[in-house]
Amino acid sequence: MTETQRPRNGLLPVLAFCGFLLAWELAASTGMVSATFFPPPTRIWSSLVDITGSGELPAATGITLLRFAVGLVSGSITGALLGLTMGWWQPLRSLLDPFVAAVYPMPKIAIFPLLMIIFGLGEGSKFVAIALAAFFPMLITSLVGVRQINKVYFEVGSNYGARGVRVLTHILLPGSLPSIMAGLRLSTNSAFIITISVELVAARSGLGVLLWFGWETFRVAELYAVLVVIALLGILFNQLMERVTAAVVPWMGE
């Protein structure tokens, strides 16, 4: 896309979104739609300001991000290491394939009650659940990443004298990096979903708890305000991943 085309293309969605908010505002304040279920955007905004000022929202966002980050980092790193090893080393792949096949398709939230029995009701079970959610997409994509490296690259390496560690650093790792980055994106999304989910089910703090609290006390505007924050975080993560990917694998083009 050229520079001159960008603003023209970017403006229309923004206008459409503003129009949507304006229509919502009018419809809710004139009673065309129920303001109880669909409070007008201005009221959601002031609720957002309220819970931000009271410190509730920043504290909840902080703890949610912490759980998410710890789970994502530990889960995706172990997933990548195991996936690369399984991709490279056939015996390990044969050994672990049935386990992966059994656990991978299972919604991770389904294992959460079991995790609470094993790791207790504190942070431990939550970290493990989030880490598992990040672990599997990363495991699968990095395994596939190694397997799909064109055989000719290993031949070139071997012919030009690459041995041992150099095969790893010059061919195996960079060759699977695009897949690993795609995996990181999947892991980020799946870890974020599970973070909010475990907070809804069993936490005393965090954005999920704030959501649940909004439902229990029927503070609908607050519920919307928290949803806005969650949506913004989701968008932020995706943007961030796009940037990181472009920086880490500059050879991928568009």
Partner 1 sequence: MRDKHQIVFSCTALSKDFVAKEENLSALRDVTFSILQGEFVCVAGPSGCGKSTLLRVMAGLLTRSSGEMHFARMEAARPQTAMVFQSQGLFPWMTVLDNVAFGLEMQGVDKETRHDLARDFLEKVGLRDFVHAYPHTLSGGMRQRVAILRAFLADPEILLMDEPFGMLDAQTRIVMQEELLRLWQERRHTVVYVTHDIEEAIVLGDRILVMSGRPGRIMADIPIDFPRPRDRDRILAKATSLQLRIWNMLREEVARDLGVAP
The full DSSP string for 169-196 is IIIIHHHHHHHHHHHHHHHHHHHHHHHH
Determine contact, residues 190/90, Cβ cutoff 8 Å. Answer: no
174 or 234, CB closer to partner 1? 174
Chain centroid, CA 129 distance in Å: 13
Binding flag, residue 99, partner 1 (CB under 8 A)? no
175 or 234, CB closer to partner 1? 175
d(CA 210, CA 37): 17
String of b and e for 32-48 (b: at least 16 CB within 10 Å)?
Answer: eeebeeebbbebbeebb
Determine contact, residues 34/94, Cβ cutoff 8 Å. Answer: no
Nearest Cα neighbor of 171 from 197, 194, 209, 145 is 145
- Taking CB under 8 A as the criterion, which residues in 176-235 touch partner 1? 177
144 or 177, CB closer to partner 1? 177
Residues binding partner 1: what is the number (CB under 8 A)? 22
- Cα angle, residue 198 at apex, residues 196 and 202 outer, rounded to 5°: 125
d(CA 90, CA 172): 15
Least separation in angstroms between residue 59's CB and partner 1 is: 43
7 or 164, CB closer to partner 1? 164
Binding flag, residue 150, partner 1 (CB under 8 A)? yes
Binding flag, residue 6, partner 1 (CB under 8 A)? no
Binding flag, residue 41, partner 1 (CB under 8 A)? no
Binding flag, residue 160, partner 1 (CB under 8 A)? yes
Interface mask toward partner 1 for 106-135; x: CB under 8 A: ------------------------------
Taking CB under 8 A as the binding criterion, the range among 70-78, 136-144, 156-164, 214-222 that sits at the site for partner 1 is: 156-164
Binding flag, residue 166, partner 1 (CB under 8 A)? yes
Binding flag, residue 253, partner 1 (CB under 8 A)? yes
The residue type at 192: F
Determine contact, residues 187/68, Cβ cutoff 8 Å. Answer: no
Least separation in angstroms between residue 150's CB and partner 1 is: 6
Using CB under 8 A, which of 94, 158, 217, 239 touches partner 1? 158
| Chain residues in the site for partner 1 (CB under 8 A) | 150, 152-153, 155-162, 166, 170-171, 174-175, 177, 249-253
